[in-house]
Amino acid sequence: MNYRSLNDLSRLSTAGAWQIPNDVELVVGIPRSGLLAASVIALKLNIPLTDVQSFLRNDELRKGKTRTYKHEALTRPLDARKILLVDDSICSGNSLRAAVEEIKKDFSGEVVTLAAFAEKNNQHMVDVHFELVEQPRMFEWNIMHHPYLAQSCLDLDGVVCVDPTPEENDDGPNYLSFLSNTRPLFIPSVEVGHLVSTRLEKYRPQTEKWLERHGVRYGKLHMLDLPSAEERQRFNVDQKFKADIYSKEPLARLFVESEKQQAIEILSLTGKPVYCIETNEMYKPSELSLLKANAVRTGALVRTKGLSKLKAAVRKWLSVNSVRKA
């Protein structure tokens, strides 16, 4: 699974800016994801920005007042001599092709096309691309709306809804209130293959009711069959439970997990990719040894810092007490 984040998009737009002709006067984004890439490019190059529909209507270009824009004399899109038409990625090329055809009906200037991410077999369909990223691929801005979620497992707390606070997580009345009233986070717009939660099985009715109320569509809801939260904590089975479900579902291609440590453990136990909400990273089997090494180094660094603080506190205490005795 190939994954690119907003940080990747920003970094690549800087590295690939040299490919964009200097005489481009206007950046035009294809809604919706293309507007994201177009905004980044336009801001970095200080060029006016608009979207396809506003361009076709020849709407007046809106500009901020805090800085001077390149080509600031341009007030109407159709007066531009050369535009950069931007989408975040290209697959079949249909969206980009349709946008070009629509624009050329009323625009006599030059259209330069750009897709931030292309593939080997379609890179020829655009004038400029920043990176070749083959399928299967996901982006930070579409991961919760991607068709691959039908073949994925999603954690519930920390992904679809907020985590309970320590006060709410009492396995009693506070927790029941949390189950009914917790706020949604990232509600997927497509059906999810598997929701995998370490909530206890006894809370299935409340969980299903909340999911229905917020329009979450899913194939199966997997919950932990233990009598109490105390038992769950005693056995410490969270990662193993999630990994078991992920492993046993042969069609599951991705696990979306909220916490970094659990994400790494699920990856380690299954050998299958895991996307982590906390770090906004896609962990892959090929990276497992590096992830473990980093975890060991981080743990050692934390212990070293803790020991250093303890030694400093002891020295301070001894110094204060020696002064008092004197």
If asked whether residues 70 and 193 sit together in one domain, one would say no
Establish if 95 belongs to a structural domain.
yes
For the cut 90, the answer to whether the pLDDT of residue 186 exceeds it is yes
Total tally of structural domains belonging to the chain? 2
Q: Provide the pLDDT for residue 321.
A: 63
Using DSSP's 3-state secondary structure scheme, residue 62 falls into coil
If asked whether residues 156 and 281 sit together in one domain, one would say yes
Show which of 89, 119, 139 is a domain's final residue.
Answer: 139
Establish if 92 belongs to a structural domain.
yes
If asked whether residues 120 and 238 sit together in one domain, one would say no
Contact 155, 197 (CB under 8 A): yes
If asked whether residues 131 and 172 sit together in one domain, one would say no
Cis ω before 4 (30° cut-off from 0): no
What is the pLDDT confidence band of residue 302, given thresholds at 50, 70 and 90? Answer: very low
Going by C-beta distance under 8 Å and a sequence separation of 6 or more, which residues neighbour residue 302? none
If asked whether residues 8 and 48 sit together in one domain, one would say yes
Range of the domain at 196: 143-288
Contact 67, 95 (CB under 8 A): no
Instruction: Give me the phi and psi of 161, to 5 degrees please.
Output: -140, 170
In the predicted model, what is the mean pLDDT of the chain? Answer: 91
Establish if 283 belongs to a structural domain.
yes
What is the pLDDT confidence band of residue 72, given thresholds at 50, 70 and 90? Answer: confident
Domain CATH code at residue 95: 3.40.50.2020
If asked whether residues 60 and 156 sit together in one domain, one would say no
Q: Provide the pLDDT for residue 300.
A: 46
Residue in 139, 48, 19, 155 with CA at minimum distance from that of residue 90: 139
If asked whether residues 120 and 150 sit together in one domain, one would say no
If asked whether residues 86 and 100 sit together in one domain, one would say yes
For the cut 60, the answer to whether the pLDDT of residue 326 exceeds it is no
Establish if 174 belongs to a structural domain.
yes
Contact 91, 122 (CB under 8 A): yes
pLDDT in tens, 75-84: 999 999 999 9
- 137-141, 185-189, 205-209, 285-289: the lowest-pLDDT one: 285-289
Measure Cα distances from 274 to 60, 106, 121, 225, 279 in Å. Answer: 45, 47, 27, 24, 11
If asked whether residues 280 and 147 sit together in one domain, one would say yes
Establish if 306 belongs to a structural domain.
no
Establish if 320 belongs to a structural domain.
no
Q: What percent of the chain has pLDDT over 70?
A: 87
Using DSSP's 3-state secondary structure scheme, residue 223 falls into strand
Q: Provide the pLDDT for residue 28.
A: 98
Establish if 297 belongs to a structural domain.
no
Domain CATH code at residue 204: 3.40.50.1000
Q: Provide the pLDDT for residue 313.
A: 61
pTM of the full predicted structure? 0.82
Establish if 175 belongs to a structural domain.
yes
If asked whether residues 186 and 277 sit together in one domain, one would say yes
If asked whether residues 12 and 131 sit together in one domain, one would say yes
What is the pLDDT confidence band of residue 100, given thresholds at 50, 70 and 90? Answer: very high
